[in-house]
Amino acid sequence: ARAKKGMFEGDLQNGELEIGQVSANIDDTKPAGEIVKDIWNEFNSELDKIRRS
């Protein structure tokens, strides 16, 4: 019930958030716009590879 309040309802006072072990893989922080740009560039790069094959 506490996890639901935190994760799905956004109630951080009475709820909880689970971050998990994957948080150990975070090396840096970036602005959201930079992350979207990186994902878009990676997508286009992979799309080019598919088109060439």
Question: Is residue 3 a contact partner of residue 15, using CB atoms and an 8 Å limit?
Answer: yes
Three-state SS at 29: coil
pLDDT of residue 45: 98
Domain parsing of the chain, residue ranges: 2-52
**pLDDT (tens digit, 9 = 90+) per residue, 1-31?**
888 898 889 898 999 888 777 888 888 999 9
